[in-house]
A and B are shown apart, each in its own frame.
Chain A
Amino acid sequence: MNRLLSTALALSFAAIPLLTGCNEEKQAKKPVSVLIYSDYIEPGMLKEFEQKFGYPVQIELYEAQEEMIGKLQASGTGMYDVIIASDVVIEQMIHLGLIQQIDTSKIPNRKNLDPKFLAPAFDPKDEYTVPYLWGTSGIVYRNTSISPDSVSYAILFDSTKVNGNFSLLDESRSMLSMALQSLGLDPNTKNKDDISRAADLLLKVKKYPKFIGFDGSVAGKDKMISKMDQAAIVFNGEAQIAIDADSTLQYAIPREGSFIWVDVMTLSSKAPNKEGAYAFMNFILDAKNGAKLSDFVAFGSPNKASYPLLDPKMAKNPVIYPDSATMSRLVFLSDPGEAARFYDEAWTIVKTR
């Protein structure tokens, strides 16, 4: 027993310095570190990038925006080059000093972008972000008698119209905004009373016997496929996966409107490999890669040059690429600034009572 203990001790003490990587291997080129949602990039593209440019790619995954921000705030940005983040948090990231300005001259492929996505509200001078993918949030439902254009939030929020089990989205800002829109209010409102009304609506819906719970977009999709739900609020990518699995499902942007989101590439404020980061961003914006990415992840590409290269089934799919009438119902969400506390407290109320 003693000998075992002492050998174990010796081994572990010997092993630790090796593991901390205090002695670093010399590599041909510095790696590019990318912080990204899981399953959000085609693995083949990474290998292609590595072969073409010689930078090894290190991927780190995260699942929730705010956790990612919390982590960056706490442990610093010096480990990452490219950070893929959602538009809602960009203002916050700029204020917290987590990202730095991008030298757009180093990304010539920016000319490929659809002008619709340039100069957005959260980055009016396109200094900090480069669009990556975009998507919408809406209702996926199993009811062939209702066409997507006539769907309203009522099929979930009106107890007389609910025809089966349903789930709502377990994201505070997204769900509250959709509730606001269903009431005809501004989803980016900073008004305490409006937010309170949205919370009350959700509390009312929570009590319906057919409401089975708050779920993330993927969990909602799973419940739709397993027929546990007849309707759920999900993002369009998940809706597409559900429709592929069950063709009786349909996806709709409600009449009262919903929100559109854009995920963007940003340059970390302490990026160790800026050259690699620019090469990566440029590579993503290449027309062929934009199409490959969109086809793989089933979300919309902001790259105009990619449109002709998309899988035709995807390009014509109104779930991924809605028509202009539907697009007009979609709103971008912005950071509520001082009103953030109202949203948080409202969400706590929704989840407590």
Chain B
Amino acid sequence: MTKPPKYEVFEGKLTTRCRMKWEGTLLSAPGMLTLFIFLLLPIVGLIVLAFMQRGAYGTINWTPSVDNLKRLIGFSSFGWAPDNAVIVARSLILATVTTLICLLIAFPMSFWIAAHKKSTRALLLALVMVPSCTNLVIRTYAWMLVLGAQMPPTWIARAIGLIGETDSLYPGQFAVYIGMVSSMLPFAVLPLYTSVERLDWNIVEATRDLYASPLRSFCHGVLSQMKSGIVASIILTLVPSLGMYVVSDLLGGSKYMLIGNLIQQQFGSASDWPFGAMLGVILILASVLSLAVFQKVGGGRNYV
């Protein structure tokens, strides 16, 4: 005889795990099926592709080899060189600094938005999101002109000694950061704001009642409640920044390759899909692993 089903209370209702899982399957099915069929399965295919080789004229040579892995570590035709590591490091630095600057600005901004009354809040939030509806490249071209030699920002930068007398902000590293922050800011503000909106100020009041200094009150009262929001904000800013290369190319003079450039090159001028697949798969793996670690630190699955 089969075991009788174990009844538990879920959401105040007496039901079995089995029935809950069945309902869960129905709810998750449309989303997961879409992801599974159109993304997850093909990525498995890409993993297989990563271990193949490029044939002459860009065809795929279906003989497995670890050549691409070796090339990834740096063993190119010209001997060993840390070029790929340099590219990764450069991308990481750009992404991290961009994220930090974005957080620095997004944090006060989300509090500022939350300080208005409800109807204005929504308007301000919309104002923040609207620029992202414009094409990124067009916006970057606008920055190219704003940061050019005959414009005020360059004059100010020269005056404060940021750049040389004859240089201009564009093209240059500073311009790249301005462009990156400008495009990633909305993605940093959104999760932070949803976190601030839900802040329970009673808790902060409680810390004050317990004689906490303003700083401790802020850290333990406010920041601890916003943990998941901060994590989400970092994820939504850091990860896309890692893959972005258009802003760096346009505002930096296209002098240095980033991860995005390298991958693009493999599917473009190099016609080396297997190596591109290898690069991409390693990137995905590294990102997912770091995300997992990060989310654990941020307190489980409470993202925002």
Task: Report which A residues bind B (CB closer than 8 A).
Answer: 64-67, 69-70, 73, 91-92, 95-96, 170-173, 192, 196, 206, 212-215, 226, 228, 335, 337-338, 340-342, 344-349, 351-353
B149 within 8 A of A: yes
Decide: B254 and A353 in contact? CB cutoff 8 A.
no
Asked if B134 CB lies within 8 Å of chain A CBs, one says no
Q: B47 in the interface, Cβ–Cβ < 8 Å?
A: no
B10: Cβ under 8 A from any A Cβ? no
- Taking the complex as formed, is B113 at the interface, i.e. its CB lies under 8 A from any CB of chain A? no
Measured between beta carbons, the chain B residues less than 8 angstroms from A172 are 265, 269-270
Are B269 and A171 in contact, CB atoms less than 8 angstroms apart? yes
Complex: A338 Cα to B273 Cα, angstroms:
15
Say whether A66 contacts B257, CB under 8 Å.
Answer: no
Contact: A70 with B59, CB < 8 Å? no
Is B78's CB within 8 Å of the partner chain A?
Answer: yes
Most chain B beta carbons < 10 A, residue from A64, A344, A349: A344
A349 touches B271 (CB 8 A): no
Pick from B254, B267, B271: contact of A215, CB below 8 A: B254
With both beta carbons as reference points, the residue of chain B lying nearest to A196 in the complex is identified as: B78
Q: How far is the CB of B153 from chain A (nearest CB, A)?
A: 16
Determine whether B54 belongs to the interface, using a CB cutoff of 8 Å to chain A: yes
Q: Mark B132-156, 1 if CB is under 8 A from A, else 0.
A: 0000000000000000110000000
CB distance A66 to B268 under 8 Å? yes
Bound-complex Cα distance A169 to B99 (A): 31
Residues of B within 8 A of A95 (CB): 56-59
Contact A341 B257 (CB under 8 A): no
Given the interface contacts A69-B58, A337-B57, A352-B83, does A214 sit within 8 Å of B253 by beta carbon?
Answer: yes
A212-B171 contact given A344-B265, A352-B83, CB 8 Å threshold: yes
A67 surroundings in chain B (CB, below 8 A): 267-268
B122 to chain A, nearest CB (A): 15
B256 within 8 A of partner (CB): yes
List 13 A–B pairs whose Cβ atoms lie within 8 Å, in order of A's numbering.
Answer: A64-B269, A66-B268, A69-B58, A92-B271, A95-B58, A96-B57, A172-B269, A213-B255, A341-B270, A342-B77, A346-B78, A348-B257, A351-B256
Chain B residue numbers with a CB within 8 Å of A192 are 77-78
Q: Which residues of chain B are within 8 angstroms of A92 by Cβ–Cβ distance?
A: 57-58, 271
Q: How far is the CA of A351 from the CA of B254 in the complex (A)?
A: 8
From residue B301, how far is it (CB to closest CB) to chain A in Å?
Answer: 26
Residues of A within 8 A of B255 (CB): 206, 213-214, 351
Task: Tell me what chain B mostly uses at the interface: helix, strand, loop, or mixed.
Answer: loop
CB nearest to B167 among chain A residues: A209
Contact A348/B265 with A66-B271, A70-B271 known, Cβ cut-off 8 Å: yes
* Contact indicator per residue, chain B 247-261, by CB within 8 Å of chain A (1) or not (0): 000001111110001
13 more A-B residue pairs beyond the given contacts A95-B59, A340-B54, with a C-beta to C-beta distance below 8 A: A67-B267, A92-B58, A170-B254, A213-B255, A214-B255, A340-B271, A341-B54, A341-B77, A341-B272, A347-B265, A348-B76, A352-B257, A353-B86
The answer to whether A349 and B78 have CB atoms under 8 Å apart is yes
Q: Known: A67-B268, A344-B272, A352-B83. Contact between A338 and B253, CB under 8 A?
A: no
* Contact (A337, B56) CB under 8 Å given A206-B255, A213-B254: yes
Tell whether B204 is near chain A: CB-to-CB under 8 Å. no
B124 interfacial by beta-carbon distance below 8 Å: no
Across the two chains, which residue of chain B brings its CB closest to A173? B269
Distance in angstroms from A341 CB to nearest chain B CB is 6
Complex: how many Å from CA A347 to CA B77?
Answer: 12
B15-73 CB contacts (< 8 Å) to partner A:
54, 56-59
Q: Which residues of A contact B268 (CB under 8 A)?
A: 64, 66-67, 70
Interface residue B203 (Cβ < 8 Å from any Cβ of A) = no
Question: Given that A70-B268, A173-B269, A196-B78 are contacting pairs, would A348 and B57 also be in contact in the complex, using a CB cutoff of 8 Å?
Answer: no
**CB-CB nearest in chain A for B90:** A352
The answer to whether A351 and B261 have CB atoms under 8 Å apart is yes
Which residues of the other chain, B, contact A70 by a CB distance below 8 angstroms? 267-268, 271, 273
Q: Are B256 and A352 in contact (CB under 8 A)?
A: yes
Q: Is B87 an interface residue (CB 8 A)?
A: yes
Q: A352 near B271 (CB under 8 angstroms)?
A: no
* A233 to B: closest C-beta gap in Å: 13
Residues of A within 8 A of B262 (CB): 348
- In the complex, whether B129 has a CB less than 8 A from a CB of chain A is no
Residues of B within 8 A of A64 (CB): 268-269
| Contacts of B105-137 to chain A: CB distance below 8 A | none
Whole-angstrom CA separation of A65 from B58 in the bound complex: 13
A22 to B84, CA, bound (A): 46
Query: Which B residues touch A340, using CB under 8 A?
Result: 54, 56, 58, 270-272
